[in-house]
């Protein structure tokens, strides 16, 4: 891992006005992405994953904190950022212009950046027949469309590509093909990936490091194998336990017990305490980060550490 992060997110907050108050979609999020690595962001629906992606892309104004990409602070819609950060959204049908031949969609970032590039070669790179450049999105399958979206994101060879649930809309068999493609592309091109997903199996397959989000905060982050094999935060543990196993593959994961609190409600302390099996009075206070090697977690009563040692 290089010493200089490609992306630094420092104490970032994002707020949305809601009918009954303010939703803090991000509440003091800090993370880094280093060149060439894959960092996954996981967490339940509504925890702020897409908001984080949009903030890094300069599409989402922040209420506090700072985001730095390659040494430049991201302010709202930062010019030139699109050349340095590619994005692949969940639904390639919605993200590709239906009236354009797909070759044009892939060529568009090159045209805007006034750069030349071989669109046919990009099609080959993402596993598509170069003859497909003349097709329209509706003439392609879901997997093929997502390959086009990946080609478009890579056209300018950005050092970072963000994927927001890139396989969620695809069939299981196609999912595996796209994941293999992503792994191959990253090996070949050496760019960094920020990979957002619900799907822990794919995260395990792709990511070097993983950040677990709950209600606008990162509750645990660290090397993927460590976090998966030995989660410290009870929420990470619950998420792992609810993940589909090989036998259950193809069925929806069991929802976690308890309700996600109303995101407009501000309360002190750990966001997860109301659903947590290990909650104690200490959880009414915000937990400070505990660092263990390359891992950090925010919990007063971590898993696998005796309670007397954890609570002072």
Ligand X SMILES: Nc1ncnc2c1ncn2[C@@H]1O[C@H](COP(=O)(O)OP(=O)(O)OP(=O)(O)O)[C@@H](O)[C@H]1O
Choose the contact partner of 47 out of ligand X, Mg ion, none; CB within 5 to 8 A by kind. ligand X
CB 246, min distance to ligand X, A: 23
Stretch near ligand X under the rule CB under 6 A, chosen from 40-48, 131-139, 233-241, 301-309: 40-48
Q: Strands 217-223 and 295-298, how do they pair?
A: antiparallel
Residue 12 interacting with ligand X (CB under 6 A): no
The backbone torsions φ and ψ at residue 63, rounded to the nearest 5 degrees and listed phi first, read -85, -20
Site for Mg ion in 244-263 (CB under 5 A): none
The piece of 44-52, 112-120, 171-179, 286-294 that touches ligand X (CB under 6 A) is: 44-52
263 scored as a contact of ligand X (CB under 6 A): yes
Distance set, CA 226 to CA 198, 232, 237, 303 (Å): 18, 9, 12, 13
- Tell me which of ligand X, Mg ion, none is bound by residue 16, counting a contact when its beta carbon lies within the kind-specific cut-off of 5 to 8 angstroms: ligand X
The region of 41-49, 70-78, 91-99, 150-158 touching Mg ion under the rule CB under 5 A is: 41-49
Indicate the residue among 18 and 277 with the shorter CB distance to Mg ion.
18
From ligand X, Mg ion, none, which one binds at residue 304 (CB under 5 to 8 Å depending on kind)?
none
**In terms of Cα–Cα distance, which of 52, 56, 58, 60 is closest to 26?**
52
Does position 19 interact with ligand X (CB under 6 A)? The reply is no
Letters for 45-74 (x = contact with ligand X by CB under 6 A, - = none) are xxxxxxx-----------------------
Which residues make up the interface to ligand X (CB under 6 A)? 16, 23, 25, 43, 45-51, 263
């Amino acid at each position: 891992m290089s010493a200089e992060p490609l992306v630094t997110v420092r104490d970032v907050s994002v707020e949305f006005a809601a009918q009954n108050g303010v939703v803090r979609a991000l509440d003091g999020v800090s993370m880094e992405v280093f060149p060439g690595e894959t960092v996954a962001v996981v967490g339940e629906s509504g925890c702020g994953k897409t908001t984080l992606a949009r903030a890094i892309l300069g599409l989402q104004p922040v209420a506090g904190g700072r985001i730095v990409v390659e040494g430049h602070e991201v302010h709202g819609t930062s010019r030139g950022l699109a050349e340095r950060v590619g994005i692949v959204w969940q639904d390639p049908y919605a993200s590709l212009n239906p009236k354009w031949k797909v070759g044009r969609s892939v060529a568009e970032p090159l045209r805007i950046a006034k750069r030349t590039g071989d669109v046919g070669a990009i099609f080959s790179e993402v596993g598509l027949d170069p003859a497909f450049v003349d097709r329209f999105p509706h003439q392609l399958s879901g997997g093929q469309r997502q390959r086009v979206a990946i080609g478009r994101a890579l056209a300018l060879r950005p050092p970072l590509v963000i994927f927001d649930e890139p396989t969620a809309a695809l069939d299981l068999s196609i999912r595996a093909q796209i994941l293999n493609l992503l792994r191959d592309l990253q090996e070949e091109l050496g760019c960094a990936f920020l990979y957002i997903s619900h799907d822990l199996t794919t995260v395990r397959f792709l990511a070097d490091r993983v950040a677990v989000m709950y209600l606008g905060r990162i509750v645990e982050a660290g090397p993927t194998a460590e976090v998966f094999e030995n989660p410290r935060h009870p929420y990470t543990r619950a998420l792992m336990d609810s993940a589909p196993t090989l036998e259950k593959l193809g069925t929806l994961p069991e929802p976690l017990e308890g309700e996600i609190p109303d995101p407009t409600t501000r309360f002190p302390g750990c966001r997860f305490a109301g659903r947590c099996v290990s909650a104690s009075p200490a959880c009414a206070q915000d937990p400070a980060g505990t660092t263990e090697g390359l891992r950090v977690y925010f919990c007063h009563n971590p898993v696998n550490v005796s309670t007397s040692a954890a609570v002072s």
